[in-house]
Structure 1
Amino acid sequence: MSIGGSPIFGIGTPLGSIGFINAIFELKNQIDEGIIPEPDIIFVAAGSTGTSAGLTAGCKLLGLKTKVYPVNVSRDIVVNPKNLIRIANKSIKYLRKRDKSIPDVQVNEGDFDMIKGYLGSNYGVKTVKGQEAVDLVYELEGKKLGFKLETTYTGKAMAAMF
């Protein structure tokens, strides 16, 4: 704002979630082209619910049977079903306002399954389960392919998958 512009906040906002709706459109294109099958589930770390709201809204908009499993890695006041639904539905409303061909659908609690128990003592704090998942994935694939999960988001989401 000091340089005369208006900031766009992307974390846990409807506008920020639209990129993840777009990711589901890309996924649907790959499904339609026979590149991949429709996934049954998507696990995603949820620190603000913005990502999981967008993914859930995208699945709902496109009629995918894929269920999103947000893994809570932040405080319940931020990561909760009510917040996810609010962001998802505001994202859909934002898109519909600009393009009436966007389906008039509403995300509800049955469209996702929030997973708790992986936060640990606080946001960003390592957990035993998360570290074990990081270490296991590194030994099985990461070392060979040159990647390593981290412990705040991906390690905890992977632990929930296990």
Structure 2
Amino acid sequence: MSIHYPARERLANLPTPLQPLHKITERFSRPYGGPNIWVKRDDLTESAMSGNKLRKLEFIIAEAKAQGCNTLITCGGEQSNHCRATALAAARTGLKSHLILRQNAGGATSDTPDGNLLVDYLAGAKVSLYPLKEYVNQLPQLFGEWASYYLKRGDRALCIPTGGSDGLGIWGYILGAEELLADCRDNGFEPDRLICASGSGGTQAGLTLGCQMLGAQTRVTGYAVCDSEDYFVSKIRDDIRLWAEAYSQVFPFDAEQIHVSDKYIGPGYGVAGEEIFQTISLVAQLEGILLDPVYTGKAFYGLLKDIEQGLYADCRHVVFVHTGGHFGVFPQRTGFSAAWGQQ
């Protein structure tokens, strides 16, 4: 079917490359009769704004401008990739940004910001850090208070949910699915599976909906990095319902095709075990690709373990969507101390 997209602010360098992972396939998939592994390099959407969030922000910023907004307010963890991308995208398009951030579980923030948080400040974002309990219990009120604050000063703010994951942001990965499927056709195959990390659900929602709208038989699987399988199934279903209502879409989405694995979250969101750091190191050494310990490292580790257990034995081609996050490596640098030289 022909898809009619809403207005877009062009920010990302598209299309991103689709690359085969020959060494990873030979070492971690072929011995188990598994598929060829490819990676869609959405970590290359842009240099500093890199990652999956930029695809969503193209539609979000266009909507902000259409509504006459000059400020973007959004939220996330202290090392949020989405908030970093929002701050930089706002700076590039002449908008202000305000980030409502959740402090790390311990509640302490270093006097010297690192990783994504450092980039937030460099981009000129206003940053408001809140303790975990206050953030979780009062997030809607915090959005309301800051939107009112700007309105009183003659500004108008667009409030963007966690990860830009809602009925608007979903367009980014409907378009992403269309691009990815075209890449695969150009390489002579239709993917059996698309794999991504799921942290707010928006990328998986867009990929799943996009594949259905385009008539692909490809199954999308999200590896959860927080929350349960049931949570993500419900969240993705709700995002797609909001998309359909907001844009008067009558596409008959099949919610039975929402597939989530919550087996590899580990100790919790943003907390990685030794196996994740070793996986990141191995992928860097074998393929020259940098994953991160919050999202892509966990999802890629889960993919390799599930291939080892035979869960992808019926697949010929699997595409891993690299959603970015490389700035998240640096605040967790000590986790890699045992990974040096691992081959």
Describe the shift of the 1:36–1:23 C-alpha distance in structure 2 as closer, same or farther (beyond 3 A): farther
Q: CA separation in 1, counterparts of 2:195 and 2:263? A: 14
The residue that corresponds to 1:40 in the other structure is 192
For residue 154 of structure 1, the aligned residue among 277, 290, 296 is 296
* AA at the equivalent of 1:151: P
% same residue = 28
The residue that corresponds to 1:71 in the other structure is 223
The residue that corresponds to 1:106 in the other structure is 253
Q: Is the 8 A contact 1:44 1:52 kept in 2?
A: yes
* AA at the equivalent of 2:263: G
Q: Is the 8 A contact 1:56 1:107 kept in 2?
A: no
* AA at the equivalent of 2:254: V
Q: 1:3-22 maps to which residues of 2 (within 5 A)?
A: 4-10=155-161, 11=163, 12-22=165-175
Q: Which moved more, 1:151-160 or 1:119-128?
A: 119-128
Report how far residue 27 of structure 1 moved: 2.4
Describe the shift of the 1:52–1:128 C-alpha distance in structure 2 as closer, same or farther (beyond 3 A): same
* AA at the equivalent of 1:104: F
The residue that corresponds to 1:136 in the other structure is 282
Q: Which consecutive residues of structure 1, in runs of 5 or more, have no partner in the other structure?
A: none
Report how far residue 29 of structure 1 moved: 3.5
> Secondary structure of 1:14's match?
coil
CA displacement, residues 77-109 of structure 1 (integer Å, 9 cap, x when unaligned): 9942111111123224434x2xxxx66221312
- Pairs aligned (count): 151
Q: CA separation in 1, counterparts of 2:158 and 2:167? A: 14
> Secondary structure of 2:263's match?
coil
Greater share of residues in strand = 2
Q: Is the 8 A contact 1:21 1:58 kept in 2?
A: yes
> Secondary structure of 1:129's match?
helix
Describe the shift of the 1:138–1:39 C-alpha distance in structure 2 as closer, same or farther (beyond 3 A): same
User: Which is higher, the Rg of structure 1 or of structure 2?
Assistant: 2
Report how far residue 75 of structure 1 moved: 2.1
For residue 61 of structure 1, the aligned residue among 213, 223, 226 is 213
CA displacement, residues 47-86 of structure 1 (integer Å, 9 cap, x when unaligned): 0111101111101111111111100101239942111111
Say what the alpha-carbon RMSD is for the aligned residues: 2.3
> Secondary structure of 2:170's match?
helix
Q: CA separation in 2, counterparts of 1:6 and 1:132? A: 42
Q: Is the 8 A contact 1:48 1:79 kept in 2?
A: no
Q: Which consecutive residues of structure 2, in runs of 5 or more, have no partner in the other structure?
A: 1-146, 305-343
Q: Is the 8 A contact 2:195 2:221 kept in 1?
A: yes
Q: CA separation in 1, counterparts of 2:282 and 2:176? A: 28
> Secondary structure of 1:80's match?
helix
* AA at the equivalent of 1:155: G
Q: CA separation in 2, counterparts of 1:79 and 1:103? A: 24
For residue 232 of structure 2, the aligned residue among 77, 80, 83 is 80
